[in-house]
Structure 1
Amino acid sequence: MITTIIINERTKAGRTLLELARLLATTNKGIEIQEESPYNPEFVAKIERIYDDYKSGKTKSITLDPNDIWGSLGLK
């Protein structure tokens, strides 16, 4: 039998219950925790691709003059 429990991690009781479930999952083979991301998977994939580009040096750095932002961007 599979039972789904929705836990609000913003409350003290929710955080306590989640920590207890995690503790039980590490000591008991009959309990499994599956956490779902609240983010859209396409959005997460896009952010991961951008981060990979950043790590590999495929990004462009722009230095802005705080006194002339538009001029720094070449838009003036």
Structure 2
Amino acid sequence: METLIVHPKDENQLAAIKAFMQALNIDFENQANTITDNLKRSIDKGINEADNGETISFEAFKLKHFKAG
């Protein structure tokens, strides 16, 4: 059997989907879609850097962060 992942756009859609699934006795589980504030800040920082052209090539990244063995 397949597993479906649903992405409701708002609370109304979420409530309707839950009611529909309960009415049909379809098992489902809630899974919070949360990330930490620190991770959010890191993601936002990376997006801003990319938007501002503050990027480097993968080769430059490797040279900067990995030591040759």
Measured against the shorter chain, the TM-score band is 0.3 to 0.5
Normalising to structure 2: TM-score of the pair?
Answer: 0.39
Higher relative contact order (CA 8 A, sep 6+): 1
Higher helix share: 2
